[in-house]
Amino acid sequence: MAVILLTTSVALILSCIGFISYEIFTLHKNMARALSTRAEIIAANLPDELAARDQKNATEILNALQKDPRMVSACIYDRDGRIFARYPASAPDTLFPASPGQPGYQFGTAFLSAFCPVVKDGRTLGTVYLKSNLSALAERFPGYAALAAIIFASSLLAAYLLSKILGRQISQPVHALAETARVISEHRDYSVRATKHGNDELGLLTDTFNEMVTRIQEQNQVLLRFAAIVEFSNDAIVGKTLDGTITSWNPSAEKLFGCAAAEAIGKPVLTFIPPDRVHEETEILARIARGENIEHFETVRVRKDGKRIDVSETISPIKDSQGRIIGASKIARDIGERIHARQRLETSLKEITDLQAALDEHAIVAITDPQGKITFVNDKFCAISKYSREELLGQDHRLINSGYHPKEFIRDLWTTIKHGKVWHGEMKNRAKDGSFYWVDTTIVPFLTADGKSRQFVAIRADITQRKKVESEIKQLNAELEQRVAKRTAELEAANRELESFSYSVSHDLRAPLRAISGFAAIVLEDYGPQLPEAGRQYLERVRHGGQRMGELIDDLLAFSRLSRQPLERRQVDTARLVQEVLTELNPNADNRQIEIRAGELPSCQGDPALLKQVWVNLLSNAVKYTRGRQPAVVDIGCERKNGEDVYFVRDNGVGFDMQYAKKLFGVFQRLHRADEFEGTGVGLAIVQRIVHRHGGRVWAEAEPDRGATFYFTIEAENKLEGKKHDRK
């Protein structure tokens, strides 16, 4: 029992000492905070008095301290360290320090003193000195001692009596209560509760203990929730003192300003304010000191890396338990994207305004309600309809109805836009003066959220002149069709005459030519030895001239037939076609050595028979004009240029002068003498006629004695059909 009593006594003494020590420590802190805050408040109200040397108002401010009996003395030092005002007013100088000390507070044996500088615009104008006694401590200490003594004596007596009466039954709950207190203290687990063993004083003590733990738990949960809110908030939350020193810095503040909490706490908040906005912080702190809230203040702040950011700040005062303002809490949110979105919206609105102005400049615009009543018209609508805006608003479009369009046309228009679809068409309207005008009209329905028509916007373009031109074109087309029909009849008659002429050439001219050639050959054969040399030469020339005349007639007939021969387009294997031509030409006959170099030749769409004639003429020319070359080289290939295949035949023959290139494709046009190279001068004309009928082009490049290259293209069938359609 003695051990229990001794242990209980020690525990009670230590508990009382701890309780009293904590209360004294807390009281010290509160007294110091209260005195410092009072000094800061007085200092905040003194800059103007010190600046104006208004000793009377300064003394009146200090005299307000007489309401607090604990205040022993107070004074205000000017910037030179001289006492400017004092409280009590009659107090001697010896009651005050000879010079102002460092800002802060200091406990003496029986007094508490505090110094606080008076600052304005960054300049120190003076210092406030306050001194109070420790009577509050002295007043409470006897109570603490008496309470501790009573608790100790009562507990000791109760422990003694109960230990004698109940023994173990009492010691066990006490031990349990002590163990519970130890577990809570060590593990900070405020969910633990002491077990109640009865309804006596020990049970009451247990209830009181558990109630105290419950309140501590509730306060701890509130603090944890608040800490979690601060920790996980998407907004930067910053705490600061009234002088602008940072005291707290959550993770979102770290992210927003790019600075860790350990680095930011203790720094002045001006670190994160651009130099051109320092004045804002001075105004904010002044308003906070007056107890004002600042909400949604949009400004610019600066990150640690120097980057400027747009933020919206909400700043609130922080008060102590006595309601005194001791700092400020700032919630900052990055609004850069919102500002950019606002700028984009302003830009879009300006663009819409500009588009509307441009539309008004160009188009005839009207807006009607769902019933068709006109609610808006622009100037161009008034100009073309010759009605004033006042005459049009509130009316419907029957006012300008020309009566030209049938009822079905109008019904289809309304059905379309009533179903939320855009209608487009051409309309003939009547102006106020009775004249008519045409407009190309687009009507766009604007719908409500439930899909009903809200209004209709009609955008029109004046096409009166176009309609007039179209009417004239129709009339011209009718006249043109008559002329074309007449011209077609004339061409058909000419073609019939040409066919008749071709028949005459084919039959009537061939017989005399064959007679001339035949009789010349007979005379040479039967009477040649009897004729003089000159006579034989003349007859030989007559015979060759007749043969050449026959060849010219054949080529001329072939050339004329090209215009009448139908074009049968199909897929043509160009490489195979060229190989067939080379086989038929047999260029290496007559003991000639010709190197034929054929490259890749893509297929094309065309008439195989006509395209074969193109290759025959070009390749036979290449073989003919390389006569005498050692070695003779002919290149056949295709190049892709500007999206089309360009076929070519190149030789190293005699070539020609490009200044005569225009004559190449004319009928009976030759650039070389007949005694040098045989031919009638129709072959290239045939090539050109065939290529043109295929929608292609043909041209040549050459130099004298350095060969020539002939190029041609065959247009794809889809492009050719497109051109025909365009011409129609």
10 Å Cβ neighbour count for 717? 16
Q: Residue 340: pLDDT band by 50, 70, 90 thresholds? A: confident
Interval 482-526: pLDDT, tens: 888 888 787 667 656 655 665 565 556 666 767 777 777 787 777
170 sits in which H/E element: helix 168-187
The Cα 555–Cα 620 span in angstroms is 15
Give the Cα-Cα-Cα angle 402, 408, 411 (nearest 5 degrees).
90
Give the residue from 383, 567, 371, 375 showing the smallest Cα distance to 460: 383
Residues 6+ apart with CB under 8 A from 263: none
CA dihedral angle for residue 280, residue 282, residue 284, residue 287, rounded to 10 degrees:
-140
Phi and psi at 401, nearest 5°, equal -70, 125
- Contact status, residue 173 vs residue 159, Cβ threshold 8 Å: no
Q: Cβ neighbours of residue 555 under 8 Å, at least 6 residues apart?
A: 680, 682, 683, 686
Burial 614-635 (b: 16+ CB within 10 A, else e): bbbbbbbbbbbbbeebeebbbb
Query: In which order are the strands placed within the sheet that holds 644-651?
Result: 594-598, 632-641, 644-651, 708-713, 698-702
Report the pLDDT value the prediction gives residue 534, as an integer from 0 to 100. 80
Model confidence, pTM: 0.33
Question: Burial code of 26-61, b = ≥16 C-beta within 10 A, e = fewer?
Answer: ebeeebbbbbbbbbbbbbbbbbebbeeebeeebbeb
pLDDT at residue 246, rounded to an integer? 93
Sign of CA dihedral 227, 230, 233, 234: negative
Q: Does residue 440 sit in helix, strand or coil? A: strand
Residue with the larger pLDDT of the pair 155 and 114 = 114
pLDDT digits (tens, 9 = 90+) for 162-198: 666 655 566 677 777 777 878 877 777 777 777 777 7
DSSP calls for 655-668: ---GGGGGGTTSTT
Which one has a higher pLDDT value, 387 or 624? 387
Whether 236 and 272 have beta carbons less than 8 Å apart is answered as no
Residue 268: band (very low, low, confident or very high) from pLDDT cuts 50, 70, 90: very high
CA-based nearest residue to 640, from 591, 711, 577 = 711
Orientation of helix 533-564 relative to helix 510-527, angle to 10° = 160
Lowest mean pLDDT among 150-154, 279-283, 407-411, 605-609: 150-154
Task: With beta carbons less than 8 A apart as the criterion, state whether 269 and 241 touch.
Answer: no
What span, in angstroms and rounded, lies between the C-alpha atoms of 607 and 603?
12
pLDDT at 609 over 90: no
CA 112: distance to chain centroid?
65
pLDDT at 413: 92
**Tokens representing 660?**
């005569």
Residue 478's identity, in one-letter code, is: A
pLDDT at 181: 79
Per-residue pLDDT at 573 exceeds 70: yes
Q: Report the C-alpha gap between 118 and 125 in whole angstroms.
A: 5
Q: Which residues pair with 319 in a beta bridge?
A: 325
Among the residues of 45-67, which ranges form H helices?
47-52, 55-63
User: What's 497-549 look like in SS3?
Assistant: HHHHHHHHHHHHHHHHHHHHHHHHHHHHHHHHHHCCHHHHHHHHHHHHHHHHH
List pLDDT tens digits, range 434-477. 999 999 999 999 998 888 889 999 999 999 999 899 888 988 98
Percent of the chain with pLDDT over 90: 28
CB 128 within 8 A of CB 115: yes
Single out the residue of 106, 124, 122 nearest to residue 114, CA to CA: 106
Integer angstrom CA distances of residue 529 from 515, 516, 517, 524: 22, 20, 19, 8
Segment 124-143 mean pLDDT: 82
The two beta strands, 632-641 and 594-598, are parallel
Contact 577, 608 (CB under 8 A): yes
Strand partners, 147: none
User: Which pLDDT belongs to residue 486?
Assistant: 86
The number of beta carbons lying within 10 Å of the beta carbon of residue 232 is 10
**Which range is least confidently modeled, 74-78, 108-112, 153-157, 429-433?**
153-157
Q: How many CB atoms lie within 10 A of CB 469?
A: 11
pLDDT of residue 699: 92
Residue 577 makes CB contacts below 8 A (sequence gap 6+) with 608, 611, 612, 615
Query: In sequence order, what E strands does 619-703 have?
Result: 632-641, 644-651, 698-702
Is residue 306 over pLDDT 50? Answer: yes
Distance, C-alpha 712 to centroid of its chain: 49
The one-letter code for the residue type at 609 is A
Question: Whole-number mean pLDDT of the chain?
Answer: 82
Q: Looking at residues 203-226, what average pLDDT do you find?
A: 76
